[in-house]
């Protein structure tokens, strides 16, 4: 086999291999110690002896308003009923 043909085959294999890097990177495709995570913020830190310390300042703080007298329900129906034009006009007043 001529040397040029061997080099051309080598280049085509290299190019084919390189396009796989455009795939979605997961922990299965990465190196052995690769951990991708789920885009969550850390709530603490790891200790030298394998423990985990939670830092209260890093915990999420949700501010929820008081909804006792709120008219709407906390869900949306999967099957909304059809509203006639006359009912829609009455409800908008």
In a domain, 87, yes or no: no
* Rounded mean pLDDT, 59-72: 88
Q: Which two structure tokens, joined as six digits, stand for 48?
A: 């030298």
Grade residue 1 by pLDDT with cuts at 50, 70 and 90. Answer: low
Segment 53-63 shows an average pLDDT of 94
Tell me if 11 is assigned to some domain. no
The count of domains in the chain is 1
Overall pTM surpassing 0.85 (yes/no): no
Residue span of the structural domain in which 47 resides = 30-59
18 occurs within a structural domain: no
Here the tokens at position 28 are 């299965």
Residue 17 lies inside a defined structural domain of this protein: no
């Amino acid at each position: 086999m001529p040397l040029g043909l061997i080099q051309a085959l080598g280049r085509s294999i290299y190019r084919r291999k390189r396009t796989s890097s455009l795939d979605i990177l997961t922990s299965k495709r990465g190196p052995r110690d690769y951990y991708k995570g789920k885009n969550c913020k850390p709530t603490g830190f790891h200790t030298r002896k394998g423990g985990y310390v939670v830092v209260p300042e890093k915990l999420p703080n949700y501010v929820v308003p008081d909804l006792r007298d709120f008219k709407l329900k906390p869900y949306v129906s999967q099957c909304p009923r059809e509203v006639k034009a006359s009912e829609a006009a009455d409800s908008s007043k």
